[in-house]
Structure 1
């Protein structure tokens, strides 16, 4: 790997940093924060995404003909790092920008690209993902949501689950079964579904963290125009694999690594300023755990850069993305478990209580981290992919 940057890449970084200083509210991350109300926070993030678009920083690696900047892969990595370093708000339309858009760019028709890409990049239309089902989460090929062709429409019936941000979404891309008699990987299709269609109902799922990011989504005789299929009928599995490669890719890993490092630095600083004769930072066992987290966060960065290097050398996105997802999800869980250990007796004191550490941020992150090894493909599935597709182990 070459860790140096060209003058043009450094200029790109400087330009982005300067823009972020002007674009973020004064006092951001110190005295100014995101709204606490979940709906208000979602709208705040959507406004931020639209501000990015107005500033020319949305979909930067998309082709210029579709509103992007045609940025290089290295510039895309720099963008991810700098956004995280500035603690910029995370997007609500991440499914649209990171998954739907790239999939349509690669497999969509010209008509689909013209219709869907401009409102995605402008965050005028928010997207959600319709993959997992109650009995088909890790085993994605077992989805049972049906789509029957009737004339120029597909009629969709079934249920999806863990549809992040469905309550705010305008569109959903869904993996549906179009041939129930074919082998389970062979009878699937990839549909683009208007969330305003009659027959769609959404039920938010309250998580252990108290948030309702996830939802159940039900489809009852939902009509989808036939031109909204991506790829061919029964070719959905191949399309979905492209989507998952972007979902688990190094761009996401780099940004997460920076944010996790910021959390770790915040924790270490807080522990270092603890008063009293029995500071947890002075406990050798606690220090050992924290040192391990420091190391794991750095390895997270190196894993992402290694995969970037492969792409720069012309390799296609493939199963190596599973290494990134598997590693960061467990490293982050370990980090927040170590944080709880380091907080000691104050660990159970959540946000809202004046005695909570850092406003309860580590307690909330600890609860959120429990989903890391499940969403975007469970750890068991990632290990299977690595074993079978990279190591050549038998099924």
Structure 2
């Protein structure tokens, strides 16, 4: 049976309310909303039903999101569980791994983090040195990861580790799932220029993972790890079904127009008073529309809605650039109001704009640097020689 607009509207009318819409993240009302969605698989609409998902097609997923958007409803964030390790388990995991982890991700019962980068292995990720040594039925893990987003709140980490130090560096790597709640795992948050600490150092000191926690075959984790990065890059660029539902109302560009009229001024005909700023806001809107239209074209060419391989690097590159431009223009429009850090005289929105601008500087590094993306595009999308 195909999910149609009327079915979604009826369900939302019965299960969603203004109270839920206006409730705080983490409140009992939000938890109940998550439970209702998870009961019918709509926290993971496109995942197979046997693992707790909704079993929807890409088109049905878009219908669901559009109707939710109309009433101000949204699917609770599933973090790296939904965006990264979940799709990877669907593609490469054993049946036992899928049944163990995917339903818990659907119910939002577990939080995941990513253990890739190391102090000596960033852009050259294959140079990682964290070791996993097989001891009976367990892997004993020692080493350090860095820039581990949300590690201080995570229950599990999916990590690239070296299982064969004698093999060529790309060939001795495995992808393993590690329980964070054990004595051998230590996490230290890193304070950033924005004042926040979303990244952490993660240390493994004889940490344990079972043989059943390894994804795929031993020493074959590099290809799986790269595939996971494609999921990450598609998420960073907004390539999923969520991206297909972006509305003009509330978009970043219209937000910029509202900011311009508030801080720069509005002419009698409703336009941004300063023509230079007006042109910049319009240019940002055109850039975003161009990206959205290209995304839609690619989605139509791949109606299944799955991650689209190396082409995701193009959208990751463009998304990072667009994010930087948006936040830069935002603080420019605010003038001195966009330079606040703390104290009186600034609204929370103004203080947030400063931090967003600082945080956006990492967009060209996080998830793979722009230079790495350009190399991938040159070699694997355009087929250029080394």
TM-score (norm 1): 0.84
Q: Which residue of structure 1 aligns with residue 183 of structure 2?
A: 198
**Alignment check: 8 A CA contact 2:311 2:381 kept:** yes
How far has the Cα of 1:145 moved from its partner? Answer: 0.8
Partner SS for 2:144: strand
Cα offset, 1:265, TM superposition: 1.9
Deviation (angstroms), 1:242? 2.2
How many residue pairs get aligned? The number is 379
Cα distance in 2, alignment partners of residues 208 and 253 from structure 1: 29
Match of 2:252 in 1: 263
Matches within 5 A, 1:370-389: 370-389=361-380
Shift of 1:351: 6.4
Aligned residue in 1 for 2:338: 347
Residue of 213, 216, 238 corresponding to 1:252: 238
Unpaired segments ≥5 residues, structure 1: 1-6, 35-39
Q: Is the 8 A contact 2:260 2:277 kept in 1?
A: no
Q: CA deviation at 1:368?
A: 2.2
Please tell me whether the aligned partners of residues 157 and 220 of structure 1 are also in contact (alpha carbons under 8 angstroms).
Answer: yes
What does residue 22 of structure 1 align with? 17
Deviates more, 1:363-372 or 1:145-154: 363-372
CA distance in structure 2 between the aligned counterparts of 1:285 and 1:357, rounded to whole angstroms:
27
Structure-to-structure mapping, 1:219-230, within 5 angstroms? 219-230=204-215
- Pick aligned residue for 1:149 from 131, 134, 157: 134
CA shift at 1:273, angstroms? 3.9
Instruction: Give the CA deviation at 1:300.
Output: 2.5
The answer to whether the aligner puts 1:390 opposite 2:381 as a matched pair is yes
The structural deviation recorded for 1:232 is 0.4
What residue in structure 1 maps to residue 326 of structure 2?
335
Match of 2:228 among 243, 254, 257: 243
Residues in 1 aligned to 2:351 and 2:68: alpha-carbon distance in whole angstroms = 23
Q: 1:104 to 1:8 in 2, by over 3 A?
A: closer
C-alpha RMSD of matched pairs (Å) = 3.3
Q: 1:173 to 1:274 in 2, by over 3 A?
A: closer
TM-score, normalising length: structure 2: 0.86
Cα deviation for residue 130 of structure 1 reads 0.9
Do residues 134 (structure 1) and 119 (structure 2) align?
A: yes
Mapped to 1, the partners of 2:121 and 2:190 lie a distance apart of: 17
Deviates more, 1:359-368 or 1:153-162: 359-368
| Cα distance in structure 1, aligned partners of 2:243 and 2:188 | 28
**Displacement of 1:385:** 0.8
Distance 2:326 2:38 in 1: 34
Q: 1:56: how far off? A: 3.7
Identify which range, 257-266 or 356-365, moves more after superposition: 257-266
Match in the other structure for 2:82: 97
What per-residue deviation string (whole Å, max 9, x for no partner) do you get for residues 321-380 of structure 1?
A: 111111111111111111122222322124664444844332232122122211121111
Q: CA distance change for structure 1 residues 92 and 129 in 2, over 3 Å: closer, same or farther? A: farther
Q: Which of 274, 286, 289 lines up with 2:280 in the alignment?
A: 289
- Structure 2 partner of 1:122: 107
Secondary structure of 1:392's aligned partner: coil
Output the CA distance in 1 between the equivalents of 2:29 and 2:247.
Answer: 19
Are the equivalent residues in 2 in contact too, given 1:84–1:256 (CA < 8 A)?
no
| Contact residue 46 and residue 91 of structure 1 kept, 8 A | no
What is the SS of the residue equivalent to 1:312? Answer: coil
Tell me by how many angstroms 1:19 deviates. 7.1
User: Against the structure 1 CA distance between its residues 302 and 85, is the aligned structure 2 distance closer, same or farther, given a 3 Å change threshold?
Assistant: farther
